[in-house]
Amino acid sequence: MNPLKLIARVLAPVHEPAGYQPVVTDGVAVLPPSADVVHITRYPEAERIAASLRDYPGDWGWRMKGYELEHSPTGFVMWVTNEGYGLAEVSSGNKSKFEPGEQEVIWPAVQAWLSSHKVGFTGRLPKVKIWRKGGIWRCMSEQHPWAGAGSSPEEAYQSWSRAVSIEARTDQRPGEILHVWSAAR
């Protein structure tokens, strides 16, 4: 066969039978008696929420991490702790649960948002600032209200890391003095 004819045959549109076409009389479609009619309940608000979560995920953020999700442009807040409790709209501290049908529409979008905005546990300590003041090296991070001190940068970091992490304290020798100050007010 000619290669050009083969390509034309492969790319040619396929004409399939159209199936049953309802008969329209006076603007009303008449279906056959064996047809099953399914009524679909629409939830426009739930569809708008789900579409916003899918299409504009940057507009959403945690109001209370792990519990309340807020739409920044409008201030709309949703309670999203777990699927067992269900989704609820939060207004003035009160929660009103979405109907089960609405939750079925919203939950897949919420789960997709949660999975894409997950901050997993890395096990690494946060970045620190190490400086020298008055002949003593000090170490501190913005995430923890603790400051470590020592005669070298390594000692300052070691004392700080032992203050914020139980894992870092496993190498501490018995009787060793740990110098840590709290910056909490």
pLDDT bin (cut points 50, 70, 90) of residue 50 is very high
Q: What is the pTM of this model?
A: 0.48
Residue 158 has pLDDT above 90, yes or no: no
DSSP codes joined into one string, 71-138:
ETTTTEEEE-S-TTT--EEEETTEEEEPPHHHHHHHHHHHHHHHHHT------PPPP-EEEEETTEEE
pLDDT in tens, 64-114: 877 888 898 888 999 887 767 778 888 877 888 888 899 899 999 998 888
**For 6, phi and psi rounded to 5 degrees?**
-65, -45
pLDDT in tens, 9-45: 778 776 655 666 667 778 787 877 777 878 888 999 9
Per-residue pLDDT at 43:
92
Residue 185 has pLDDT above 70, yes or no: no
Lowest average pLDDT, out of 16-20, 47-51, 147-151, 174-178, goes to 16-20
pLDDT in tens, 120-151: 556 678 888 999 999 999 998 887 778 888 89
